[in-house]
């Protein structure tokens, strides 16, 4: 393995945990309309927003005030329906999106599209269907392809393949979410085209906003084995006494495109000031998060002995718990590096110093501990001559469960020829430790054939290759 030599500035993160939700990268927002119009009794001809081919046609109103739901950006006012099954329709622009089109319509095999909007029932009746319909061509019964909304006679949201003249169109419904009066719902629809199960559609109602929902983590209505394309959207409600508000229509390629987060979700938030250890204490290791949302980390000089600790803290900063405190004795490690949450659910890591390995000791240890702090186990006392010393980065686990890591110094079997770091592997039970590469370059005797001082974590690339950098 040929190392990539680079020099990086290493910053110290003081004893403070903070939360910051970073802006997500977007693939493409295809179309958007947030009702940024003056209030009016007819939206016909209004041509705001982006990504459309012409303005709105049909009836319905613009009413002052956006629909609001926590965490979702809203702009302008909102659309309100007239009832009587009358709808407003708009054609979606296709310019620049040829890779998503099939026969000039959205829905090319192998593509994924996301649609979202805000909805609130205003008044209801027994014939209270309200929602949106996607069409393949001009608005007609024959061209209806997907209905997302409340079916006739109920307040349950669902997905319906539309081939009949009026809802309900029959198929799949999300039974646990109801559109009660004055309840704003955030509707997200995921459309996958050309899968082994045909075109598939997933409906999410009020999903989590910080990450893409899936069937494994959020209840969703699902349609399978469909075949359709679409080029326009219509929103409407049913009987005379049924009116509904719609807002923030978005069509995009990714979940992030259609779920913009409100600005207050991007603010810096101090979660917890970590308890000060004996000698000051700081952390240079990144946090990691388990499937339950808990954070885990390590501090170089934390803990009651001042030699570092491994800790757990809740996402909101509560429940700070030291899982293991490294003592100021040679029997254990000192100053822990970053952590790995392995496939067995345990935390694995190494230390910069401590331990009794080799002729000289104090080369660090490799250890594991359960996420509740139990069963702390030293897997290996490192030998500075044969193994290497000074663990400074988190371990990597490959698809076979084997652990890989780097040690910043050491790694030769003779006292007179000091090594300058190693790449190693080890099984999760501590067996099979092998130094895969010993770095022979140094600042004193520079060489163009190798690097020295590997201090950043490895990554696994294609073909079971390991990649890393040296200082």
pLDDT digits (tens, 9 = 90+) for 20-51: 433 333 457 899 999 999 998 889 999 999 99
pLDDT given for residue 169 in this prediction: 39
Q: So what CATH class is 23-262?
A: mainly beta
Q: Convert the pLDDT of each residue in 287-324 to its tens digit.
A: 898 878 889 999 888 778 888 899 998 888 888 899 99
| Average confidence (pLDDT) over 129-151 | 85
pLDDT given for residue 192 in this prediction: 93
Q: Convert the pLDDT of each residue in 152-187 to its tens digit.
A: 655 566 666 654 444 433 444 443 344 445 678 888
Q: How confident is the model at residue 448 (pLDDT cuts 50, 70, 90)?
A: low
pLDDT given for residue 261 in this prediction: 73
pLDDT given for residue 182 in this prediction: 60
Q: Considering only 4-8, 251-255, 365-369, which range has the smallest mean pLDDT?
A: 4-8
| Average confidence (pLDDT) over 104-128 | 83
Question: The tokens of 370 are what?
Answer: 């359960």
pLDDT given for residue 10 in this prediction: 24
Q: How confident is the model at residue 417 (pLDDT cuts 50, 70, 90)?
A: low
Where are the CATH 2.60.120.200 domain residues in the chain? 23-262
pLDDT given for residue 35 in this prediction: 92
pLDDT given for residue 206 in this prediction: 82
- What integer best gives the mean pLDDT of the chain? 79
pLDDT given for residue 415 in this prediction: 45
| Average confidence (pLDDT) over 456-471 | 84
| Average confidence (pLDDT) over 64-68 | 88
pLDDT given for residue 279 in this prediction: 42
Residue 61 has pLDDT above 60, yes or no: yes
Where are the CATH 2.120.10 domain residues in the chain? 4-18+268-470
Architecture of domain 4-18+268-470: 6 Propeller (2.120)
Contacts of 29 (CB under 8 A, 6+ apart): 50, 51, 250, 251, 252, 257, 258
């Amino acid at each position: 393995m040929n190392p990539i030599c680079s020099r990086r500035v290493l910053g110290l993160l003081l004893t403070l945990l903070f939360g910051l939700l970073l802006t997500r990268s977007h693939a493409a927002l295809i179309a958007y309309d947030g009702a940024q119009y003056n209030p009016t009794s007819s939206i016909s001809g209004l041509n705001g927003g982006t990504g459309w081919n012409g303005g709105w046609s049909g009836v319905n109103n613009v009413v002052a005030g956006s629909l609001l739901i926590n965490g979702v950006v809203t702009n302008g006012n909102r659309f309100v329906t007239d009832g009587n099954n009358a709808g407003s329709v708009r054609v979606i622009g296709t310019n620049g999106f040829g890779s998503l089109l099939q026969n000039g319509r959205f829905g090319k095999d192998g593509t994924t599209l996301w649609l979202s909007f805000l909805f609130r029932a205003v008044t209801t009746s027994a014939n209270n269907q309200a929602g949106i319909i996607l069409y393949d061509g001009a608005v007609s019964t024959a061209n209806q392809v997907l209905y997302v909304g409340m079916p006739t006679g109920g307040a349950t949201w669902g997905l319906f393949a539309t081939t009949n003249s009026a809802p309900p169109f029959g198929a799949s419904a999300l039974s646990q979410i109801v559109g009660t009066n004055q309840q704003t719902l955030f509707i997200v629809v995921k459309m996958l085209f050309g899968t082994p199960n045909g075109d598939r559609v997933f409906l999410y109602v009020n999903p989590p906003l910080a990450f893409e929902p899936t069937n494994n983590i959020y209840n969703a209505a699902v349609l399978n084995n469909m075949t359709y394309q679409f080029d326009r959207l219509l929103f409407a409600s049913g009987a005379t006494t049924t009116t509904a508000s719609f807002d923030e229509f978005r069509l995009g390629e990714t979940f992030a495109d259609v779920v913009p987060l409100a600005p207050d979700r991007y603010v810096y938030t101090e979660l917890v000031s970590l308890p000060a250890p004996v000698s000051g204490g700081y952390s240079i290791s990144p946090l990691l998060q388990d499937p339950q949302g808990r954070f885990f980390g390590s501090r170089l000089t934390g803990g009651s002995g001042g030699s570092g600790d491994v800790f757990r803290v809740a996402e909101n900063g509560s429940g700070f718990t030291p899982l293991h405190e490294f003592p100021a004795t040679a029997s254990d490690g000192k100053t822990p590096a970053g952590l790995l949450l392995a496939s067995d659910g345990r935390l694995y890591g190494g230390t910069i110093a401590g331990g009794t390995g080799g002729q000289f000791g104090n080369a660090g240890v490799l250890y594991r501990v359960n996420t509740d702090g139990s069963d702390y186990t030293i897997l290996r006392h490192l030998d500075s001559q044969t193994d290497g010393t000074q663990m400074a980065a988190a371990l990597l686990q490959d698809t076979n469960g084997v652990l890989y890591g780097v040690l910043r110094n050491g790694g030769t079997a003779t006292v007179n020829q000091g090594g300058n770091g190693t790449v190693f592997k080890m099984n999760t039970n501590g067996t099979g430790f092998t130094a895969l590469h010993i770095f022979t370059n140094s600042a004193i005797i520079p060489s163009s054939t190798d690097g020295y001082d590997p201090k950043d974590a490895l990554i696994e690339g294609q073909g079971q290759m390991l990649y890393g950098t040296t200082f």
